[in-house]
Amino acid sequence: MVATLTEYDRVPRILRLDIAGRPVEWVSWQEAVCLYAREIVVWTLGDAVLRIRGGLSRITSAPSSLEIHSIIACDGKVVPPPKGVPPLTNEALFRRDLSVCLYCGKRFSDGELTRDHLVPLSRRGRDAWDNVVSACKRCNHYKGDRLLEDCGLELLALPYVPNFAEYLALTNSGRILGDQMDFLRKSFGRQSRLLQ
C-alpha cells in the first residue's frame, strides 16, 4: 500500500550521520530520498520508517521501492564535531530544562516560560547557556534584575551548555524515535537532563 500525503506528513525527521557515525543534522524524508537516490547513503541504523514505491525497473521489470531508515550515514567528508557553543534559543533552553521553572519547580508550556539570566544583563551578565534558566513568568518577574542571593530564590538545577548531540535532540520539534534518541543519548554529556 502506498502512503497517502497525510501519512507522509507524519513521517519523523531522519537523523543524518557522517560516514564515521557522528550526528550531523535532521533531514526530511524527501531529503533522505534524494540522498538514497544519489547513492550517498552507505549504511543505516534503526527501523525503516517509510517505503517509497516507484515505477518498473528497466533491468528487472519489477516495481522499484526504497526503504527509508530512521538513521542514515552518508558518504563524503568526515564532519568534525562542531566547534563552539550551540546557538541559544528559547525552544532548546526550555527542552534542556524539561519545561520546568528552575525556581518553583512547576512544569509549564513554552508560552508560560521565559528565559531568566542568573546574572542579569543589566549587571553585565551574558546571554549564554551557562547564565540562563527556564523560569515561569511569575518567578522571573519576582526575581527582576536581582541576583539570586538578593531575592531569596534558589536554583533547582545548574545551567549547562549542551553538546551537539544533545542540541540536535533538543531542537527536533517533531517526534524523535526511540532508536534515534538511543543513538544520540550515547553522546550526551554527563550533566544532560535528558539522561534522567
Same-domain check for residues 74 and 104 = no
Backbone angles phi, psi at 142, to 5 degrees: -65, -45
pLDDT for the residue numbered 136: 98
Using DSSP's 3-state secondary structure scheme, residue 69 falls into strand
> Cβ distance 195 to 188 under 8 Å?
yes
The two beta strands, 63-74 and 14-17, are parallel
Same-domain check for residues 67 and 109 = no
Same-domain check for residues 143 and 181 = no
Amino acid at 22: R
Give pLDDT < 50 ranges for the chain: 1-6
Same-domain check for residues 70 and 28 = yes
Same-domain check for residues 73 and 12 = yes
Domain of residue 135, CATH code = 1.10.30.50
pLDDT for the residue numbered 1: 33
Q: What is the span of the domain harbouring residue 130?
A: 90-151
Quote the pTM value: 0.80
